[in-house]
């Protein structure tokens, strides 16, 4: 299988401060790859090296089989890129902006641009200077998709989008995937990655610490559950259930974490009168810890796995 994105020992220091360290990334043709990590993990740094906006301190990056540095122009001709942060020309309208970008690209199919704009409910007649954050993002997405690129590199594509537009975006990703396009997107939120991606890479403190198939993730997912009972909280009944941890009980309320399915919890709770029950999506950190144990976090922080054992 050919690799669409292939980095080896990719390292970037900003002066003496760490950007990314030794990132070995493999993205295959047809992947929908989620690049997941907290703020400052190094997602944007990696992406900007792929687009030849930044030059690595060491290591190599290959995109579509071409060297990111030497063949930047041909790579960018075949890639659709949404930067994490960007500004538009305030005095141009959306249509003019897209026209300019299409001209820089060449060979863009205009009716398709209109279709994308309609799908995302983007008003092309407004001046870019008057657009809200979400609408600026929409314009960014349209220009990234407009030439049906082989590879889409999207830095936090859903930041600032309302749920309806987010859903439309997910549909666009699904369709691009079905059409054989490869998608590489960064995100902070696991549910999003689980919703659209086939593979996920975890970045922490500048290092790519793990790459997993998304299908395998759910089994280890950690949920935060809170139950409010009419009577006293029956903490002891829950503490002994498999997968339950971190139990906190106040008079009527019980909070705990569950690894795996919620089945046993629901059945146990059903023996009591339940006033309310909430279950939060597992967050990134919990999932990461569930997957790799406490030690992995320290290892990722560069302390060395040995000390953490």
Partner 1 sequence: MPPRGKGPTMLRDAFFKGLRDQRRSLLIWVAAVAVYVVMMCSLFPSIREGAADMQGYIESMPEAFRRAFMGESTDFGNAVTYLNGELFSLMTPLFVMIFGIALAAAQIAGEEENGTLSLLLAFPVSRARLLFQKYGVLVAGTVVLCGAHLVTMLLANAAIGLDVAVSDLVGAHASLFLLALAVATVAFAVGAATGRRGLTIAVGAGLGIVSYLLNVVAQLVESLGWLKKLSVFYYYGGAEPLRLGFRPAYAAVLLAVAAGALLVAWLAFERRDVRV
Give the relative orientation of helices 94-105 and 110-119 as an angle to the nearest 10 degrees: 140
Give the relative orientation of helices 133-145 and 110-119 as an angle to the nearest 10 degrees: 140
Q: Which is nearer to ligand ATP, 36 or 269 (CB)?
A: 36
Please select the residue that binds ligand ATP; options are 2, 16, 39, 240, rule is CB under 6 A: 39
The structure tokens listed for 281 are: 């999506």
Phi, psi angle pair for 141, to nearest 5°? -65, -40
The structure tokens listed for 38 are: 């907290």
Instruction: Scan residues 122-161 and list those touching ligand ATP (CB under 6 A).
Output: none
Closest CA to 5 of 32, 25, 20: 25
Instruction: Scan residues 82-101 and list those touching partner 1 (CB under 8 A).
Output: 83-89, 92-93, 95-96, 98-101
With beta carbons less than 8 A apart as the criterion, state whether 79 and 150 touch: yes
Q: Which is nearer to ligand ATP, 42 or 94 (CB)?
A: 42
Closest CA to 226 of 290, 283, 190, 274: 274
Contact status: 86 vs ligand ATP (CB under 6 A): no
Q: What x-and-dash track marks residues 9-28 binding ligand ATP by CB under 6 A?
A: -----x--x-x---------
Q: What's the CA gap between 53 and 155, in Å, rounded?
A: 14
Q: What's the CA gap between 242 and 22, in Å, rounded?
A: 38
Contact status: 76 vs ligand ATP (CB under 6 A): no
Contact status: 44 vs Mg ion (CB under 5 A): yes
Tell me how far, at minimum, the Cβ of 43 lies from Mg ion, in Å: 5
Please select the residue that binds Mg ion; options are 84, 134, 255, 260, rule is CB under 5 A: 84
Judged by CB under 5 A, the stretch of 44-52, 131-139, 239-247, 295-303 that binds Mg ion is 44-52
How crowded is residue 281: how many other Cβ atoms within 10 Å of its Cβ? 15
Tell me how far, at minimum, the Cβ of 196 lies from partner 1, in Å: 21
Q: What's the CA gap between 62 and 54, in Å, rounded?
A: 14
Q: What x-and-dash track marks residues 39-68 binding partner 1 by CB under 8 A?
A: -----x---x--xxxxx-------------
Total of residues contacting Mg ion (CB under 5 A) = 3
Q: Which is nearer to partner 1, 37 or 80 (CB)?
A: 80
Please select the residue that binds partner 1; options are 1, 125, 178, 270, rule is CB under 8 A: 125
Q: Are strands 32-36 and 182-187 parallel, antiparallel or unpaired?
A: parallel
Residue whose structure tokens are 């659709």: 80
The partner in contact with residue 96, picked from Mg ion, ligand ATP, partner 1, none with C-beta cut-offs of 5 to 8 angstroms by kind, is: partner 1
Tell me how far, at minimum, the Cβ of 86 lies from partner 1, in Å: 5
- CB burial of 112-141 (b: ≥16 within 10 Å; e: otherwise) equals ebeebbebbebebeeebeebeebbbbbbbb
The partner in contact with residue 58, picked from partner 1, ligand ATP, Mg ion, none with C-beta cut-offs of 5 to 8 angstroms by kind, is: none
Residue whose structure tokens are 């092309």: 124
Which run of H or E residues covers position 288? Answer: helix 284-300
The partner in contact with residue 228, picked from Mg ion, ligand ATP, partner 1, none with C-beta cut-offs of 5 to 8 angstroms by kind, is: none
Tell me how far, at minimum, the Cβ of 70 lies from partner 1, in Å: 11
Can you give the binding site for ligand ATP, defined by CB under 6 A? 14, 17, 19, 37, 39-45, 84, 188
């Amino acid at each position: 299988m050919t690799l669409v994105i292939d980095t080896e020992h990719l390292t970037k220091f900003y002066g003496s401060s760490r950007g990314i360290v030794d990132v070995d990334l493999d993205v295959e043709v047809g992947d929908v790859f989620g690049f997941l990590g907290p703020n400052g993990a190094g997602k944007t740094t990696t992406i900007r090296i792929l687009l030849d906006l930044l030059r690595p301190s060491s290591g190599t990056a290959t995109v579509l089989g071409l060297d990111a540095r030497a063949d930047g122009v041909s790579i960018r001709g075949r890639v659709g890129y949404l930067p994490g942060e960007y500004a538009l020309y305030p005095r141009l309208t959306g249509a003019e902006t897209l026209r300019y970008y299409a001209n820089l690209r060449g060979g863009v199919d205009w009716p398709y641009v209109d279709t994308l704009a309609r799908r995302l409910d983007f008003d092309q007649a407004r001046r870019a200077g008057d657009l809200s954050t979400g609408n600026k993002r929409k314009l960014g997405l349209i220009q990234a998709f407009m030439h049906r690129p082989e590879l889409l590199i999207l830095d936090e594509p859903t930041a600032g989008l309302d749920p309806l537009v987010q859903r439309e975006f997910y549909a666009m990703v699904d369709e691009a995937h079905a059409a054989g396009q490869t998608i590489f997107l960064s995100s902070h939120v696991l549910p999003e990655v689980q919703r659209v991606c086939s593979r996920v890479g975890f970045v922490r403190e500048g290092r790519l610490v793990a790459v997993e198939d998304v299908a395998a993730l759910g089994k280890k997912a950690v949920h935060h559950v809170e139950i409010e009972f009419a009577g006293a909280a029956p903490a002891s009944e829950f503490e002994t259930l498999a997968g339950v941890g971190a139990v906190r009980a106040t008079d009527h309320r019980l909070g705990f974490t569950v690894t795996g399915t919620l089945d046993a919890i629901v059945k146990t709770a059903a023996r009591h009168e339940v006033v309310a029950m909430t279950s939060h999506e597992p967050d990134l950190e919990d999932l990461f810890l569930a997957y790799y144990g406490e030690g992995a976090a320290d290892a990722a922080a560069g302390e060395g796995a040995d000390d953490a054992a």
